[in-house]
Structure 1
């Protein structure tokens, strides 16, 4: 009996403040706020990136312009918590070192805000996956961006400890947003390459070590500030500061060499079953059947016609004699949304204009204008053309006379026999690229 009564209760486990901060309190809410904010911003601009892997990567990268300042503000608010609670003196009596106490409060916010950014980027990729038309995911920038968000939270925590005002958090967010915005808007100067949210195009791919250098640059500054504020030997802050300076020097000295063009941007995928053939950038290879179908009315009417360009190509250069410029699919959100053409008729009309390839003639002759209009109306009838005709029909005498001539020219081309029309179109396309259609029979 005495043994039972003398048995002592087991000792309570030692408190784990870091675990408590991670699982409860402000940190999970800060991460949720980052996720919700970025989710709303990405959803609002979904038409511009959903369906293209490169566009998705560029858009999630540039949201660092919001995620970084938001994480810094969250860290700053957490850093001023003890001052608001008036428990600074109480915390000064505990056994743990000032550095351990700071990290126990700061790391959870840094981890949760970084996780919020990473979750938003992951959800954006999931939203793109059903609509992607080629290419592959571009996660190369995520490590550097995620570390930059966590580093912003750590820096913000130190500011919250140092600046004794409740306005520190919103003011820090505003300052961070303005500072990153100025760097992002800069088109020259090496300092812009230190911007974690440096804007990129949808064909830019970082060299393999760029995210690593960016992570060292941002994390080095954050840990230098933490050690300078809370370490017993503040000289230790020189080590992460030196690493940050070295990484920053590499980023600024390399400059535009940090990026290269994705190989797929230089590749074309073609459907040669039609004349002209239809070629599209390999990043959107999945759209090729859709484009061919949209142009089927044009290519069907051109069957047997000579002197045509060999193909339509989606390129960013001037078309050569053997090719015509395919109407642009990018930037997404205009002619293409979520992997679908928004207006196939308009696309066919623009492709027909590219076949005509008229230079900027200062004084086009009436014969040239009538021939161009008749060909465009025959190959790619467009609702917009009827709208312009209705406007001219309600115009003055000159407008109505011009409309009558255009309608007569269109009717003459449509009334030709198939062989006659093929010969006429062959003669017409022989003059494409010039300002002279004298070799084309009159309509």
Structure 2
């Protein structure tokens, strides 16, 4: 009986349109931010949870439309005269919407998984639980839609319900420090190295399945039966209430942040698929900086950086937003700009130490002559580090260039702005 109902719902209901909209939404999400998931299993699973911000409202709207058809067609009384239990058509409607959503979601997700498998440098751990909870959230979303459609069958209710759910899922993203935001299946902030405890996934899966059962029983008007998942849901709420602010916070996977290196350039293992491209861009500039007195001798991915690690012999760089679908790094100029970071990341600008007898910094055209001011001196050293030295610096011998840049670097690290003012271009 259920199978026949489900086949009917799949053919004449909203599932085909749901599948189309879900596939379109997922493809759009994957194409817009490939850097979040390309070659990263953990990134792909977390990005599915990010995408629930769009997918769940779609399934809520579809479920509301699907469940409200009989009442809009004034068939509810006619259907109630049949010997079929009232929960069966509701279950068929909810299952049809869920299957339609999965039919649209799985193909683009499978293609993305294939692309990840071809280029991934780290298999990851526990990401499948993150993805499984995402699928369970879609079941809950369709159950919510069926309840809304059952209570309010008007056509305008479906899009309004989708919009309200979207806003309801979006707001907790900005309140992520509260443990109560873990009630939402949407992950607003996640990185490829993040991993959540299995017990948290189990709690969240249990919470979503309990809510789905409660919503379905309410839609079927089995009030006494709905008391069971209601009590269970209340019991599950005790967990975040007692756990505090750290409930559901991810930790870093040590395997993901382990280093993979080529010569002087190192990246986190999860980003090792970009290592050749990064070494090609940073290698020559790093060799040049390593010959400067006190200059960095290694370049290391920020992802592998421990808190309060301020080693001056390391050039830190970020690979955020650098992965591309077609391979390689998206912005080589961003990587090159990191070569000048030893001169610009010191937290002393502006500083009251510049007195009246030191010329204030002012933007100048280096090609027009010797620039005046501290910032121009630092900028000239930064240009040298990026392989674009000003003409005045390029005119010096290589040994003199390194000596001058080393002096600027030492003064910058010491926040000695008086010394920087005296280190005008040679």
TM over 0.5: yes
Distance in 2, Cα, partners of 1:76 & 1:198: 24
- Which residue of 147, 158, 166 maps to 1:177? 166
- Which residue of 117, 130, 147 maps to 1:141? 130
User: Is the alpha carbon distance of 1:96 and 1:249 closer, same or farther for their aligned partners in structure 2, counting shifts above 3 Å?
Assistant: same
Larger radius of gyration: 1
The answer to whether the aligner puts 1:69 opposite 2:57 as a matched pair is yes
In terms of mean alpha carbon deviation, does 285-294 or 182-191 score higher? 182-191
Q: Is the CA contact (8 Å cut-off) linking 2:98 and 2:139 kept in structure 1? A: yes
The match for 1:96 is 84
1:64 Cα deviation (Å)? Answer: 0.8
Distance in 2, Cα, partners of 1:320 & 1:15: 64
SS at match of 1:435: coil
- Which residue of 313, 335, 341 maps to 1:353? 341
The match for 1:7 is none
The match for 2:260 is 269
Distance in 2, Cα, partners of 1:124 & 1:440: 53
Distance in 2, Cα, partners of 1:158 & 1:358: 57
Q: Is the CA contact (8 Å cut-off) linking 1:280 and 1:313 kept in structure 2? A: yes
The match for 1:108 is 96
Distance in 2, Cα, partners of 1:411 & 1:222: 69
- After superposing on structure 2, the runs of 4+ consecutive aligned residues of structure 1 that deviate more than 6 Å are 438-442
Pairing 1:333-352 to 2, within 5 Å after superposition: 335-338=322-325, 339-352=327-340
User: Is the alpha carbon distance of 1:74 and 1:360 closer, same or farther for their aligned partners in structure 2, counting shifts above 3 Å?
Assistant: same
Structure 2: segments with no counterpart, 5+ residues: 360-371
User: Is the alpha carbon distance of 1:192 and 1:322 closer, same or farther for their aligned partners in structure 2, counting shifts above 3 Å?
Assistant: same
User: Is the alpha carbon distance of 1:246 and 1:116 closer, same or farther for their aligned partners in structure 2, counting shifts above 3 Å?
Assistant: farther
Distance in 2, Cα, partners of 1:288 & 1:341: 10
- Which residue of 277, 282, 287 maps to 2:274? 287
1:16 Cα deviation (Å)? Answer: 4.8
The answer to whether the aligner puts 1:168 opposite 2:151 as a matched pair is no
The match for 1:38 is 26
The count of aligned residue pairs is: 396
TM-score (norm 1): 0.77
Q: Is the CA contact (8 Å cut-off) linking 1:76 and 1:161 kept in structure 2? A: yes
Distance in 1, Cα, partners of 2:286 & 2:179: 50
Distance in 1, Cα, partners of 2:208 & 2:151: 20
Q: Deviations over 1:200-250 (max 9, x none)?
A: 32143221132332222222222223223436x631212222222233332
Structure 1: segments with no counterpart, 5+ residues: 1-13, 386-405
Q: Deviations over 1:375-400 (max 9, x none)?
A: 43444235xx8xxxxxxxxxxxxxxx
Distance in 2, Cα, partners of 1:71 & 1:358: 50
- Which residue of 97, 111, 122 maps to 1:123? 111
1:169 Cα deviation (Å)? Answer: 1.1
User: Is the alpha carbon distance of 1:351 and 1:337 closer, same or farther for their aligned partners in structure 2, counting shifts above 3 Å?
Assistant: farther
The answer to whether the aligner puts 1:218 opposite 2:173 as a matched pair is no
TM-score (norm 2): 0.79
The match for 2:199 is 209
Q: Is the CA contact (8 Å cut-off) linking 2:68 and 2:150 kept in structure 1? A: yes
Distance in 2, Cα, partners of 1:152 & 1:194: 13
Distance in 2, Cα, partners of 1:152 & 1:238: 20
The match for 1:6 is none
1:420 Cα deviation (Å)? Answer: 5.1
Q: Deviations over 1:286-331 (max 9, x none)?
A: 322322221232234356544333423333555534433422211x
The match for 2:249 is 259
- Which residue of 386, 404, 408 maps to 1:380? 386
SS at match of 2:250: strand
SS at match of 2:189: coil
